[in-house]
């Protein structure tokens, strides 16, 4: 069974300000086992610690017993009939406990009931009771994503809306619907945004994670998605830690940033794109000049696992082939 990273003492006890550990291995980033480098600037290295700028030594108080985390795992862009990518990632899910999130394009074809029953259901669907989905644009190829809502039932939220929230351990989790052209419900005055504000204000958890299909920020040629600006501003104003997306068929982790796309270590939201659930992987623009890209890979299918503690989180990209790209680390909640 694939569990969390090696036990560490509670981060907020050790470093009262900021601590980020970002570890990457394989792929086109850094080699596995490379020595960690230390920096006050998270953009100078793919592997780095960011410590408080202080001239006085940091003392380490005695840690309390390490808590058992809540766990989540998932990816987007999952099932294409006749291809085996989703079979491989489904095998990973069988060995990872916790809630399974999907990041849209669950059926990466037309989202028909036949495709769900014959292709998605035997793979990811065998853990159906653990799944908390989000819809993608392929799910909406079928009129109003009717078959998506029918297949997932109550777990998908209200039909025609597709947004909802729940708690995992001490964390509040929000699943949004970024198919704005289809539902006409992403503007500042929309029902979805009104619901989102109310939901965040009624759940003042220290740690919050949100997920949906389309990434707000992209370093690839498809470009940033301004129609999701309100999503990001509302989440930023309410101190959300993480946003996780699919749509692009590769893995990409960005540095924490504010709603204007500028690096923000104090309050910024970390975005991770995980379109590696089983549909064919895609190339990306290797000449992208985005300074916020910390790591990116399209060499392997895989799922992203989170270990959620009361005041911090760990992430771990689990590839289907163990000698391939990996990415893991941890960070504190705002």
Quick: pLDDT tens for 220-258.
656 688 889 999 999 999 999 999 999 999 999 999 999
* pTM for this model (two decimals): 0.85
Quick count: other Cβ atoms within 10 Å of Cβ 207? 23
264 has a pLDDT exceeding 90:
yes
In the predicted model, what is the mean pLDDT of residues 60-73? 68
With b for 16 or more beta-carbon neighbours within 10 A and e for fewer, the 110-125 pattern comes to: ebbeebbeebbeebbb
pLDDT of the residue at 70: 97
Least confident of 204-218, 219-233, 237-251, 262-276: 219-233
Alpha-carbon span 122 to 114, nearest angstrom: 12
Confidence of residue 93 (pLDDT cuts 50, 70, 90): very high
In the predicted model, what is the mean pLDDT of residues 184-189? 85
The verdict on residue 8 lying in a domain is: no
State phi, psi for 90 to the nearest 5 degrees: -65, -35
77 has a pLDDT exceeding 90:
yes
pLDDT of the residue at 90: 98
Range of the domain at 237: 71-320
CB of 186 within 8 A of CB of 221?
no
pLDDT tens per residue, range 126-158 = 999 999 999 999 999 999 999 999 999 999 999
14 has a pLDDT exceeding 80:
no
The verdict on residue 28 lying in a domain is: no
Pairing of strands 293-297, 270-274: unpaired
The verdict on residue 55 lying in a domain is: no
| DSSP 3-state percent helix, strand, coil across the chain (nearest 5) | 20, 25, 55
pLDDT of the residue at 284: 79
The verdict on residue 43 lying in a domain is: no
Pairing of strands 251-254, 293-297: antiparallel
With b for 16 or more beta-carbon neighbours within 10 A and e for fewer, the 34-56 pattern comes to: eeeeeeeebeebbbbbbeeeeee
In the predicted model, what is the mean pLDDT of residues 216-220? 80
| Cα–Cα distances in angstroms (integers) from residue 102 to residues 77, 112, 324, in the given order | 8, 17, 22
DSSP reduced 3-state for 71: strand
The verdict on residue 102 lying in a domain is: yes
67 has a pLDDT exceeding 80:
no
Six-digit token pair at 73? 């795992």
Alpha-carbon span 73 to 50, nearest angstrom: 26
pLDDT of the residue at 5: 59
Tell which residue, 85, 84, 133, 130, has the closest CA to residue 106: 133
Q: What is the DSSP letter of 57?
A: P
pLDDT of the residue at 222: 64
pLDDT of the residue at 257: 94
The verdict on residue 333 lying in a domain is: no
Q: How large a percentage of the chain has pLDDT more than 90?
A: 69
Six-digit token pair at 280? 């064919």
The verdict on residue 14 lying in a domain is: no
pLDDT of the residue at 194: 96
Confidence of residue 324 (pLDDT cuts 50, 70, 90): confident
In the predicted model, what is the mean pLDDT of residues 171-192? 92
pLDDT of the residue at 68: 87
Rg from Cα positions in the chain: 19
Confidence of residue 262 (pLDDT cuts 50, 70, 90): very high
Q: What is the DSSP letter of 184?
A: -
Confidence of residue 4 (pLDDT cuts 50, 70, 90): confident
pLDDT tens per residue, range 26-56 = 444 433 333 333 333 333 333 333 333 434 4
pLDDT of the residue at 64: 45
In the predicted model, what is the mean pLDDT of residues 185-194? 90
With b for 16 or more beta-carbon neighbours within 10 A and e for fewer, the 214-234 pattern comes to: bbbbbbbeeeebeebbbbbeb
Domain of 279: which CATH number?
3.60.21.10
DSSP reduced 3-state for 322: coil
Dihedral sign for Cα 81, 83, 248, 236, please.
Answer: positive
307 has a pLDDT exceeding 80:
yes
The verdict on residue 57 lying in a domain is: no
Number of domain units in the chain: 1
Confidence of residue 289 (pLDDT cuts 50, 70, 90): low
pLDDT of the residue at 3: 73
For 194, half-sphere exposure in the C-beta direction (CA atoms, 13 angstrom radius) is: 5
DSSP reduced 3-state for 118: helix
């Amino acid at each position: 069974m694939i569990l969390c990273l090696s036990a560490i003492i509670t981060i907020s006890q050790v470093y009262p300000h900021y601590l980020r550990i970002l570890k990457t291995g394989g792929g086109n980033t850094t080699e596995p086992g490379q020595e960690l480098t230390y920096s006050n600037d998270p953009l100078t290295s793919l592997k780095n610690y960011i410590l408080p700028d202080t001239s006085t030594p940091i003392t380490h108080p005695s840690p309390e017993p390490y808590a058992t985390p809540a766990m989540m795992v998932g990816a987007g862009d999952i099932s294409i009939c006749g291809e085996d990518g989703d079979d491989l990632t489904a095998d990973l899910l069988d060995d990872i406990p916790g809630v399974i999130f999907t990041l849209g394009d669950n059926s990466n074809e037309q989202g028909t009931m036949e495709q769900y029953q014959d292709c998605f259901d035997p793979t990811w669907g065998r853990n159906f009771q653990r799944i908390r989905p989000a819809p993608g644009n392929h799910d909406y190829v079928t009129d109003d994503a009717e078959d998506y809502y029918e297949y997932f039932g109550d777990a998908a939220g209200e039909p025609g809306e597709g947004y909802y929230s729940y708690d995992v351990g001490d964390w509040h989790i929000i699943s949004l619907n970024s198919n704005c052209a289809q539902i006409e419900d992403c503007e500042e005055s929309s029902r979805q945004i009104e619901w989102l504000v109310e939901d965040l204000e009624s759940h003042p958890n220290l740690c919050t994670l949100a997920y949906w299909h389309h990434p707000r920020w992209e370093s690839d040629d498809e470009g940033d998605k301004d129609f999701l600006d309100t999503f990001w501003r509302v989440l930023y104003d309410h101190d959300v830690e993480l946003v996780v997306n699919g749509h692009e068929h590769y893995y990409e982790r960005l540095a924490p940033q504010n709603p204007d796309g500028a690096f923000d270590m104090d309050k910024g939201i970390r975005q991770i794109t995980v379109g590696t659930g089983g549909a064919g992987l895609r190339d990306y623009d290797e000449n992208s000049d985005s300074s916020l890209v910390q790591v990116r890979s399209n060499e392997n299918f895989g799922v992203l696992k989170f270990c959620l503690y009361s005041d911090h989180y760990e992430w771990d990209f689990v590839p289907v082939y163990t000698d391939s790209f990996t990415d893991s680390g941890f960070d504190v909640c705002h």
